[in-house]
Amino acid sequence: MSKYGTLYIEGNSFFHRLAPSIKFIIFILWSITVFMSLDLRLSLALLAIGIIFLFFAEIPFRIIKNLFAVVIIFNIINAVFILLISPEFGAELTGQKTRLCSVLGFPVLMETLFYVITISLKYLSLLPMALILIFSTHPTRFASSLNKIGIPYKIAYTFNIIFRYIPEIQNEFKIISQAQAARGLSYGKDEKSLIKRMKNIFSITIPLLNTSLERIDKITNAMELREFGKYKKRSWYNESKISRKDLLVLIAAMFLFTAAVYHRLTLDSWFWYPFK
């Protein structure tokens, strides 16, 4: 947890200085580019660029490594399920059928395997940019910035609150689970049965939910008592102005995005498959 008890990590990198709204727009453009096609080359390029960006954003590796691990594990599970449930999917996409081998009686097609790798990398290529947005953006400046580009402030403020309270809920989870572990409901290595462990984690969610609901009620009251929502507009103590530099970055991003869209339109298939 950072100094502010938020996900935001202080720093002075290029990405920290970039106006949050511009960062958000770039993230959206990045996502559209990723979802527009199913091209291994593009995913690899974006992933590489993303990792370089992540390096420049000075976000400590120890913080992002777990998130990377989670996404990679999710991707592997997803890939296995695709291979099991729709082993023919690659064939449908490419119109070809090359049987590689069979695992436990399930046939594995090269086309499907290639598809699975492509889609995994596609998801993964979203991650660096998302991490940069979450960890290098000051929550209130993000909210004020979103408000500035026309998003209603109540919605913008919700982002702020969410970013702020995630670490607190994490902390609460820790405290509650420790107390439960002390009376025999461990979710760690102490409990040998995996099913029991899952069950015990689930039982923690009840007090966690209770205290979270209590907290939401308190925060809502605290905000209303201090006149949140009084007018259609509100001003911001932590404003971030959009500088000329920010605009230049935005123009560059738009240019690259247009190029990507143009390139996509010239292709006849959204799935890139080199072994034809």
Partner 1 sequence: MPIIEFKNFSFRFANLREPTLNNLNFQIKEGEKVLIAGASGSGKSTLMHCINGIVPFAHSGELKGELVVSGIKPYNQNIFEISKKAGTILQDQDSQFIGLTVGEDVAFIQENNNINPEIMKKKVYESLQSVQMQKFIDQSPYELSGGQKQSVSLAGILSSGTDILLFDEPLANLDPASGKKVIELIDELHKKYRKTIIIIEHRIEDVLERNIDRLIVIDKGRIKANEKPDTVLKQDILRKYGLREPLYIEALKHFSIDLKIINNIHDINSCKNPEVKKTLSTKKIIYKKNNNYKKRQLLLSVQNINFSYDRKGRQILKNVSFELDKGEIISILGNNGAGKSTLSNIITGILKPDSGTINLSGKDITAAGIKEIGQKIGYVMQNPNHMIVKNMIKDEVCLGLNAYRYDKNFIEERYLKTVKTCGLYGYRNWPVSSLSYGQKKRVTIASILALDPKVVVLDEPTAGQDYRTYTEIMDFISRLTEKGIGIILITHDMHLALEYTTRSIVLSNGKIIGNDKPSKILSNEKIVAKANLKETSLSRLSGILELEDKEEFIQNFIETEKGVRAVE
Asked if 239 touches partner 1 (CB under 8 A), the answer is: yes
Asked if 180 touches partner 1 (CB under 8 A), the answer is: yes
- CA geometry: angle 132, 138, 139, nearest 5 deg: 105
Q: From the CB of 216, what's the least distance to partner 1, in Å?
A: 9
DSSP for 135-199 reads: HSS-HHHHHHHHHHTT--HHHHHHHHHHHHHHHHHHHHHHHHHHHHHTTT---STT---HHHHHH
Residue tagged 């959206």 (tokens): 28
Q: Which is nearer to partner 1, 48 or 175 (CB)?
A: 175
Asked if 140 touches partner 1 (CB under 8 A), the answer is: yes
Q: 62, 85, 183, 274: which one contacts partner 1 (CB under 8 A)?
A: 183
Q: Dihedral sign for Cα 132, 134, 140, 145, please.
A: positive
Q: Which is nearer to partner 1, 21 or 140 (CB)?
A: 140
Distance CA 215, CA 201 (A): 21
Q: 66, 225, 262, 268: which one contacts partner 1 (CB under 8 A)?
A: 225
Q: 97, 215, 263, 264: which one contacts partner 1 (CB under 8 A)?
A: 215
Across 55-90, b (16+ Cβ under 10 Å) vs e yields eebbbeeeebeeebeebeeebeeebeebbeeebebb
Q: 220, 243, 258, 269: which one contacts partner 1 (CB under 8 A)?
A: 220
Q: Are 156 and 233 in contact (CB under 8 A)?
A: no
Nearest by Cα to 149 from 270, 24, 51: 24
Asked if 173 touches partner 1 (CB under 8 A), the answer is: no
Give the number of residues in contact with partner 1, rule: CB under 8 A: 54
- What does the radius of gyration of the chain's CA atoms come to, in whole angstroms? 23
Asked if 240 touches partner 1 (CB under 8 A), the answer is: no
Asked if 268 touches partner 1 (CB under 8 A), the answer is: no
Asked if 118 touches partner 1 (CB under 8 A), the answer is: no
Name the token pair of 167. 């670490």
Which range in 24-32, 106-114, 201-209, 246-254 contacts partner 1 by CB under 8 A?
201-209
Q: 14, 123, 228, 271: which one contacts partner 1 (CB under 8 A)?
A: 228
Q: Which is nearer to partner 1, 142 or 257 (CB)?
A: 142
Asked if 13 touches partner 1 (CB under 8 A), the answer is: no
Q: From the CB of 217, what's the least distance to partner 1, in Å?
A: 8
**CB within 8 Å of 257: residues ≥ 6 apart:** 29, 32, 33
Asked if 221 touches partner 1 (CB under 8 A), the answer is: yes
Q: Which is nearer to partner 1, 78 or 211 (CB)?
A: 211
Distance CA 34, CA 25 (A): 14
Q: Dihedral sign for Cα 211, 65, 46, 114, please.
A: negative
Residues at the interface with partner 1 (CB under 8 A): 3-6, 138-140, 160, 164, 172, 175-176, 178-186, 188, 190-191, 200, 203-204, 206-207, 210-211, 214-215, 218-231, 233-239
